[in-house]
Structure 1
Amino acid sequence: MTYDPASANPLFGNPLKSRADVEKGLRDLFAPLLPYFSKGGARVRLDGAGAHFDRAAADLEGFARPLWGLTPLAAGGGDFDHWEIYRQGLANGTDPDHPEYWGQVNSTDQRMVELAAIGFTMKMLPHLVWEPLPQRAKDNLAAYLKHARQFDYAPNNWKFFRILVDLGLEQCGVDFDRSLTDAYLAELEDFYIDDGWYRDGAIRRIDHYIPFAMHFYGLIYAKLAKGDDKRVADYKERARLFAKDIQHWFDEDGGTLAFGRSLTYRFACGGFWGALAFADVEALPWGVVKGHFMRHLRWWSKLPIADRDGILSIGYGYPNLFMSESYNSAGSPYWALKAFLPLALPEDHPFWTAEEVEADFDQTPVPLRHPGMVMQHTRGNVVALSSGQQNWQMRHGTEKYAKFVYSSRYGFSVEVDERAYQSGAFDGALAFSDDNRHYRVREALETALIAENSLFSRWKPWEDVSVETWLVPQGDWHVRVHRIRTPRALHATEGGFAIARADLNADTYIDEAGRAVAKSQTDLSAIVDLAGQREGRAFRALPNTNLIASKTIVPQLRGAIAAGETILMTAAMALPAGDAADRALSHPPAAPDLDQLEALFAEKGVEVSAILVPERF
């Protein structure tokens, strides 16, 4: 064996219990990058894979993103031996006459994203990255940042990037047009919904960018800004409200809900907890906040997320380009270092001195109106029933936003062959085909409602086919009800949760009328037909489709859909293998009363916030 996927993870074996452990984790993550810095220090190129932006911007990404961890490290008193490389890089990257020049920003540009980390570092560490520079380098750096900030930033979380640059310019005594900062701060208010929740632009999309971007940057601003007391108070209060909800996107082991885009940023998802500490916002007791933070890092420390030299890979639970975005270059995963923000705090900060408190979740469903989810906590997992979101802009956007169900333990799958209906994983989804080759799944929603602990959506896989779907939590299970109206015959495949499978198919499978079950050494997944007799199939999905396990098996129900109206009722569950899973399997839920479901939504149904893009956009 020349490659041990576990030990190649720089966090592997680190207990991640103390501040010293977290500091070591950061150093271990950064060390593999050193050989890849260019001679002039301005560029970091990790491999030959490309993104939609140019190579210079990708190299800047590799240079800048580690600063999200290194800057807090130094601000908190930690030693770092390579600030001279960063000083050289800042000088050379912003010098138009140097061969490592990053290139000029002339419109909305990926460089704008990466300059935010530089602005943050200038604000936190001017004595390390600004004051030692010769005057010409200072002039070039200031001119580069000021030039970039005059262009429009993307109308989403990007608006915070100019604000972070401005914090750095202000700290270093550089004059600039403050009205641009004020304008973006005001425009960011348009993204706020209520109860601590934001949306990420004019789109039906409420994902991890809310905790690891909107709140993360807002809390940095709340800590570092001067003379903006009302907005600072608002950001802190919104974070307090948000923490009560977003904790339910994490499971008892520290895993987070695998949902939405940019999941290659991995433990950036835990950055919200560190940002609370950084801004001194005790939204939950410090021991609870610390528990969520530390468990999340420990969860990632066990997965093969790095290449053989310790470089973080594009992927989620393992290297995987299928799930990547068009804007992911090799340096992109180092946004994960945003999780290390609390290293800026001294050892005697209550966040670090608190004893970790274990997660206190039970099986009571937790409805979240704004993202359109109902959360279910089960052993080692959190499940989100989901309706109300969509995203056509991202690769595999449908799988990332429009499935019926998402999970922390089992992730989700992206389809890798759009012309092979028979080979689709379709976990957490209902797929239709009219030619046995191509397929349609839920992509866009005409209506999305939440009522108590249940969800409803209306969607059309084709213009002449209408589907109404109800999602209902039932203990370890959840139930899906679909009312399908079609003028022509179709075929349908509905999937449960994907679980890891062994080599040589050395697992237990049940394929029978009305039920499919997969049982491995670690997990059990099942799907049951509660109305009708669709055929069960424990399907061995194509490799590298799932985000967490590279080889999976997905229980499915398959059958013909006649012209006219058809009602499907489905129960699905997945649990760690053991007696509890066997008991759950032997007691599937009963079919719900559709009339009662319709009455519930007629009386109490309210629209999901995610689907309601305000007219002002």
Structure 2
Amino acid sequence: MYDPARANPLHGNPLLTRSDVQKALLDLFQPLLPYFSEGGARVRLSATGAIFDHAAADLEGFARPLWGIVPFAAGGGTFPHWPLYRKGLANGTNPAHPDYWGDVADRNQRLVELAAIGFALAMVPQHLWEPLTAEEKQGVAAYLLAARERDYVDNNWKFFRVLVDLGLQRVGIAFDRKKTVAYLDELEAFDIGEGWYRDGPVKRVDHYIPFAMHFYGLIYAVLAKDDAERCARIRARAERFAPDIRHWYGPDGAALPFGRSQTYRFAAGGFWAALAFADLEALPWGEIKGYYLRHLRYWSRLPIADRDGVLSIGYGYPNLLMSESYNSAGSPYWALKVFLALALPEEHPFWQAQERAAPTFPEPVPLAKPGMVAMHTPGNVVVLSSGQEHDKMRGSNEKYAKFVYSTRYGFNIEANDRHFDAASFDGMLGLSDDGVHFRMRETLDEALIADDMLYSRWKPWRDVVVETWLLPQNPWHLRIHRIDTPRELLTIEGGFAIPRADFGRDRSEEESGRAVWFGQEDVSAILDLGEWQRLGRAHVPIANTNLIVAKTNLPQLRGAIPPGRSVLVTAAFALPSGDAADRALANPPSPPDLSALERLFDERGERVAAFDLT
């Protein structure tokens, strides 16, 4: 019988020590061995496809495990499969071999995966390069040199050429250094201050900032021996960034599910590993180690692999609905970036430090650059958000434009945009003018932050304007929506989605202006604080729409608004069951003074840096 607790190679590992983490790396790699091709260069894990060709996907399956294998070996670990990797590298770069990865091209997936090979050559050439024959070395070098001449996507991809160049430099292959410097300059131009970057010329900052921009940057800062000033800038940004990004991690180690590429899972812990790798004590070592190990332990408890132990596409469980077009079956192995800390010896202060619990933050924490406000609540970090957008992928509205995100409860992806009544709208306001199709906050006209409050203006239709204010009232948060519409609109607004038990064991309450779900371990509530009351509804979302759990319950408010101007005022919270939840229900917040809010933003509102793309 399928045992979800064991559908995870990390299951049962205490993940307390360096040796535990070493074992985790080997346990994650072992299930891949049956899927290596005879020539060693291709690893095909399933029949699912991605936007790129199968050869590139097979290279992805081959290369991504190196993000963990390389630091493991660099730190003295014994990896028994280097002959397989050397054979694969030689054959994958040989156009005459059946396992050939295919020619490199501009903005092509192969450019992404070759970064791991560059990293390996830079870190452990004795395992992957030096035993090759002269002819094999020539073939590998020619393939990498051809790749670095191609055009890379204008975002974190530019680091992939930099990493290839670090590898070529380590093994003595000559190349034009000016191209490296140009990309490094362009990457630094994505800096928006206080340690935050954009991931390219876009109006969003997401996990690619910690697990890509900072992660690769800190690797460069360690390995580049002739670029001291730039390395110092990279390190200073990471040091400033750490006190902010810790608010994207819950007390149980969960990272904030937010943005694209959630299937990379514990890659989100790679930033803490990179701080250690760079010997950068941006927070006390015990705190860094705590964020790192709690994150790994969080993932050890979830059914994230298939029956054979291969990591699935998904997040808390196998789930293609939440994936991106560029996710192949090998994509989840970017999670192995988290093992960068294994390059450090046992004697390093990171490994020697006593793990510390996450600090507590009783007051809301503004994160001005990404346009967020974090609230630490029992068992959870809740993040209000305005200033992010991405309209070029499935589920992008849910991944970037919800009003609120949670480390404990994740978020839902809508499964059918032609079924308004069945939609979740967790952390969102859904609008419909026909009762069938629906719109939500997607792209923004404006995004502001003032103290610990947020404002956005958005247009679900060309002739409908919505202004939204978000206010923390820990553990509640308030949402005020002022809507100008020339026609009647139907509205649904959702709270947090919490796990649903089988056999109808959960309890709900729904009435005018209020809906509450009482789950087995959590309570989720939503209230209408406006002048007229929307109807409360204890909604049961479509299965497999939440990132963390397959089945959820969700409280909603529903009602129609007439043509003209309407103001909706909403309060929502979710908490573990117990005294804190009982107190919150007994003490709902009061509606805010909208005119006072407007004055505050007129006087002190600042445009969100992530949104202010100039």
TM-score tier, shorter chain, comes to: over 0.9
Q: For residue 610 of structure 2, give the secondary structure of its aligned residue in structure 1.
A: helix
Aligned to 1:178: 177
SS of 2:276 mapped into structure 1: helix
Within 1, Cα distance between the matches of 2:5 and 2:479? 37
Task: Identify the residue that residue 224 of structure 1 maps to in structure 2.
Answer: 223
Instruction: Say if 2:540 and 2:554, in contact at 8 Å, map to a contact too.
Output: yes
- 1:164 alignment partner AA: L
Determine if the alignment matches structure 1 residue 39 to structure 2 residue 38: yes
Aligned residue number for residue 550 of structure 1: 550
CA displacement at 1:595 relative to structure 2: 1.1
- Mapped to 2, the partners of 1:189 and 1:82 lie a distance apart of 37
Give the 3-state SS of the residue equivalent to 1:611 in structure 2.
coil
Runs (5+) with no aligned partner, structure 1: none
1:317 is matched with 316
How many angstroms does 1:186 deviate by? 0.9
- Counterpart CA distance in 2 for 1:286 and 1:462 is 50
Q: What is the SS of the residue equivalent to 2:296?
A: helix
User: How far apart, CA to CA, are the structure 1 residues paired with 2:139 and 2:590?
Assistant: 69
Cα deviations by residue, 1:249-305 (Å, 9 ceiling, x for unpaired): 111111111100000000000100000000000000100100000000011110110
Give the letter for the 1:515 counterpart. Answer: R
For residues 223-243 of structure 1, give each alpha carbon's deviation from its aligned partner in whole angstroms, at most 9, with x where no partner exists.
110110000100110000000
Match of 2:541 in 1: 541
Deviation at 1:106, TM superposition (A): 2.3
Shift of 1:363: 2.5
| Counterpart secondary structure, 1:613 | coil
C-alpha displacement at 1:483, in angstroms? 0.5
Matches within 5 A, 1:306-345: 306-345=305-344
- TM-score, length of structure 2 as denominator length: 0.99
Counterpart amino acid of residue 468 in structure 1: E
Match of 2:607? 607
> Which amino acid in the other structure matches residue 605 of structure 2?
G
Q: What residue number does 1:499 align with?
A: 498
What is the CA distance between 1:382 and its match in structure 2?
0.7
Aligned partners of 1:445 and 1:363: how far apart in 2? Answer: 30
Give the letter aligned to residue 499 of structure 2. Answer: A
Describe the superposition over 1:548-587 as per-residue Cα deviations: whole angstroms up to 9, x where unpaired: 1100111000001011111110000000111211111111
Q: Tell me the secondary structure at the aligned position of residue 219 of structure 1.
A: helix
- 1:164-313 to 2 correspondence within 5 Å? 164-313=163-312
* SS of alignment partner, residue 398 of structure 1: helix
* Secondary structure of residue in 1 paired with 2:310: coil
CA drift of 1:361 comes to 1.8
2:429, 2:287 → 1: CA distance?
38
Report the Cα distance in structure 2 between the residues aligned to 1:452 and 1:602, rounded to whole angstroms: 12
Corresponding residue number in structure 2 for 1:385 = 384
Aligned partners of 2:192 and 2:610 also within 8 Å? no
Gaps of 5+ in 2: none
User: Matched residue of 1:610: which SS?
Assistant: coil
Classify the secondary structure of the residue corresponding to 2:161: helix
Deviations 1:96-152 (Å, cap 9, x if unpaired)?
Answer: 000000001122100000000000000001111111000111000000000011011
State the match for 1:594 in structure 2: 594
Amino acid paired to 1:611: F
Q: What percentage of aligned pairs have identical amino acids?
A: 65
Q: Hey, what's the Cα distance between the residues in 1 that align with 2:504 and 2:550? A: 14
- 4+ runs of 1 displaced by more than 6 Å? none
* Pair 1:564 & 2:564 matched: yes
The amino acid of 1:487's aligned partner reads P
Q: CA deviation at 1:189?
A: 1.6
3-state SS of the aligned residue for 1:52?
Answer: coil
Give the CA deviation at 1:362: 2.2
Structure 2 CA distance for aligned equivalents of residues 519 and 182 of structure 1:
56
Deviations 1:382-408 (A, max 9, x none): 111000111012221111000100111
Shift of 1:504: 2.5
Verify: 1:421 aligned to 2:420, yes or no.
Answer: yes
Q: Residue 418 of structure 1: SS of its match in structure 2? A: coil
Q: 1:579 & 1:178 partners in 2: Cα distance?
A: 61
Q: What is the CA–CA distance in structure 2 between the aligned matches of 1:194 and 1:472, rounded to whole Å?
A: 24
Query: Does 387-396 or 241-250 show the bigger shift?
Result: 387-396
3-state SS of paired residue (1:362): coil
Q: What is the distance in 1 between the residues matched to 2:377 and 2:17? A: 28
Measured in 1, the distance between the counterparts of 2:132 and 2:411 equals 48
Residues of 1 paired with 2:496 and 2:358: CA distance? 24
Q: In the alignment, which residue of structure 2 is the partner of 1:457?
A: 456
What amino acid maps onto 2:28 in structure 1? Answer: L
Letter in 1 for 2:606: V
Corresponding residue for residue 406 of structure 2: 407
Specify the SS of the correspondent of 2:5.
Answer: coil
Distance 1:505 1:426 in 2: 22
Please show how residues 525-540 of structure 1 align to structure 2 within 5 Å: 525-531=524-530, 532-540=532-540
Equivalent residue number for residue 585 of structure 1: 585
Rounded to whole Å, the distance in 1 between the matches of 2:512 and 2:608 is: 36
3-state SS of the aligned residue for 2:529? strand
Q: CA deviation at 1:352?
A: 0.1
The C-alpha deviation readout for 1:506-530, integer Å capped at 9, x for no partner, is 2001111100000111100000000
CA distance in 1, matches of 2:318, 2:518: 25
Matching residue of 1:6? 5
User: Does the aligned pair in 1 maintain the 2:508–2:515 contact within 8 Å?
Assistant: yes
SS at match of 2:292: helix
Aligned AA (2:483): I
Secondary structure in 1 matching 2:6: coil
Q: How many residues align?
A: 613
**Distance in 2 between the 1:227 and 1:140 partners?**
28
Work out the CA distance in 1 between the residues paired with 2:229 and 2:42: 39
Instruction: Report the residue type matching 1:552 in the other structure.
Output: T
Distance 1:560 1:402 in 2: 22
Kindly provide the CA deviation profile for residues 461-512 of structure 1, in whole angstroms up to 9, marking residues without a partner as x. Answer: 1111111100000010000001111111111000000001011322001111
